[in-house]
Amino acid sequence: MKHSLSFFFCGLLIGAIVTAGGFALYVRNAGSLGSDAKVLKLGHSLDTNHPVHIAMEYMGKQLEEISGGKMKISIYPSSTLGSEPQCIEQLRDGSLAMTKTSAAAAENFEDSYSVFGMPYLFRNSEHYWNVLESDVGKKMLDKAIPTHLKGLCYYDSGSRNFYTVNKPIKTPADLDGMKIRVMNSKTAMDMVETLGGNPTPIAWGELYTALAQGTVEGAENNPPSFTSNKHYEVCKHFTLDGHTMVPDILWISTYVWDSLSPEEQKWVQEAANKSSVYQRELWKKMTAESLEQAKEEGVTIYEVDTKLFADKVQPMYDKLKDDDPKDAAIKKLIEEIRGIK
């Protein structure tokens, strides 16, 4: 009798686990019970005024239209579902469908993305987009598939520039000893260190407080991010050195992607591509507006000789070794990128 009861309760337990697993899988893939539409959850850390968020909303509308209402995207901005690293981990276990990261942060799970963090790699904005739209750029989107992340498209993140609280940066020498916030990226840290600064990784959501409290003396990012997060309230010096042009990448979990039919995958990819083009237009307009806003808020904008900065970081390229497999792969990528017109 005891054995019969044990088997009975074991059966109930197994049934509950299977049911719960099936329910979680259904929610993960369908996103919403009681609805005919398949809903993909997208979480990110940006505010709702950011061009990337606006482009994501556009993507959602496009997907709903392309699919005839069969697919939708539910967006959770401002770290509602967690920080950037936390969202990535959720994609990796399939509990979240989509998120956005900087390509620089992506080097933490795929070495080849470190190439985007190499300073002064791109000649100009045209060269930058020619690379991203080339076969080289498209192949890069699939590099993280072994870690359960598939890149759908790139979003423009413009050029990254230094901005500081008190001391302006006009030459590389001005960075000597300064504590500068960087992304959690080895390449970004190497760049600031090579320029003479003290790189300090801090989560984006914590940066305003860190600047205000003097934990760091400055940071580096693009104009829209600088103004949309009101860093101009603390930092009154913005240097247009344009040291890197690092794209954002829109990721989808391979668990979710593989659960979609070929037709559904086509719909999602088409909507993502359209959002990328739309975001570029928004970005260009917002960058100009952001610089004007910064000036109105009392920020001094500095035009500098970028060759001084490019020469200073040349050792980052020189130290790549041919006999190191990782370095050799990065060197090859750099050659391919520079060879694109």
pLDDT (tens, 9 = 90+) of the chain, 341 residues, equals 434 444 333 444 444 333 334 333 433 444 443 468 999 999 998 889 889 999 999 999 999 999 999 999 999 999 999 988 999 999 999 999 999 999 988 998 999 999 999 999 999 999 999 999 999 999 999 999 999 999 999 999 999 999 999 999 999 999 999 999 998 889 999 999 999 999 999 988 899 999 999 999 999 999 988 998 899 999 999 999 999 999 999 999 999 999 999 999 999 999 999 999 999 999 999 999 999 999 999 999 999 999 999 999 999 999 999 999 999 999 999 999 999 99
Per-residue pLDDT, 340 = 97
Which residues are registered as beta bridge partners of 39? 72
What pLDDT sits at residue 75?
A: 98
Phi, psi of 3 (to 5 degrees): -65, -40
Region for residue 124 given its phi and psi (left: phi exceeds 0; alpha: psi -120 to 50; beta: otherwise): beta
Beta-ladder partners of 41: 74
* DSSP tag of 297: T
Q: Residue 32: its pLDDT value, please?
A: 41
Phi-psi region of 148 (alpha: psi -120 to 50; beta: other; left: phi over 0): left
* Cβ proximity of 84 and 184 under 8 Å: no
- Residue 299 · residue 238 · CB < 8 Å: yes
DSSP of 84-105 = HHHHHHHHHTTS--EEEEETTG
* Cross-sheet strand order for the sheet of 149-155: 71-76, 38-43, 98-102, 248-253, 149-155
d(CA 74, CA 87): 14
Nearest-CA neighbor of 132 among 109, 156, 148, 108? 156
- Give which of 216, 211, 217 is closest to 229, Cα–Cα: 211
Specify the pLDDT at position 152: 98
Query: Which of 152, 124, 156 shows the shortest CA–CA distance to 140?
Result: 152
DSSP percent split of the chain into helix, strand, coil, nearest 5: 55, 15, 30
Nearest in space to 104 (alpha carbons), one of 90, 112, 121, 116: 116
3-state secondary structure of 136: helix
